[in-house]
Amino acid sequence: MRHTLSDDDRRFVQQTLLRRRAVLEQRLAQRERSLHSDTLGEVHDRGDEAVRDLDSELKLAATERSAVDYEEVLGALARLGEGTYGLCVDCKDGIDIARLRATPTVTRCLACQTQHEVDQDERDATPSL
C-alpha cells in the first residue's frame, strides 16, 4: 500500500511537526534554565528531603520525555525532507494518513506496530539468568 502524501496532508503534518518542535525547544530551554536556577533550599527533615528528591525526579523524567519527543519530531521532519515520511520502517508500505495525522511522529503502520509490541512483550517476558 505505497502512497504519497497529498499536498494538503504534507502541509498539515509539516506545520504540526514544526509547531511541536517549537514547543519542545521552548520547554527544554525553560527546564534547562530552571535546573540552573533551582536552589535546593534548606531541608528541615527527612520528609522535606523526600519531597525535594521526588520533585527532582519528576522534573528529570519530564525533561527526558520531552527530549525523546524532540528527537522523534526531528526524525519525522528529516523523513519528510527525504521523501520517506509516511512509509513504515519495517514493511516500507504507506502508513494510513489518519494515523499520521493523529501521531505525526509514528514510524510504523498499524500491523507492524502491533507485531513490534508483541515481539517487545515476548522479549520482556523472557526470563534472563
What residue numbers bound the domain in which 119 lies?
7-125
The percentage of the chain sitting over the pLDDT mark of 90, rounded to a whole number, equals: 59
CATH of the domain at 16: 1.20.120.910
In this prediction, residue 43 carries a pLDDT of 62
Model pLDDT for residues 10-62, shown as the tens digit of each residue: 999 999 999 999 999 999 998 877 766 655 556 678 877 777 777 777 878 88
pTM for the whole structure: 0.76
Q: Could you give the angle at which helices 46-82 and 7-37 cross, rounded to 10 degrees?
A: 150
Of the candidates 108, 109, 106, the residue with the CA atom closest to the CA atom of residue 69: 106
Say if 57 falls within a structural domain.
Answer: yes
Say if 56 falls within a structural domain.
Answer: yes
The percentage of the chain sitting over the pLDDT mark of 70, rounded to a whole number, equals: 88
Say if 1 falls within a structural domain.
Answer: no
Say if 15 falls within a structural domain.
Answer: yes
Say if 91 falls within a structural domain.
Answer: yes
Question: What domain count does the chain have?
Answer: 1
Say if 2 falls within a structural domain.
Answer: no
Question: Measuring CA to CA, how many Å separate 2 from each of 64, 86, 93?
Answer: 34, 9, 5
| Residue at grid coordinates 534554565 | 33
Position 67 confidence tier, pLDDT thresholds 50, 70, 90: very high
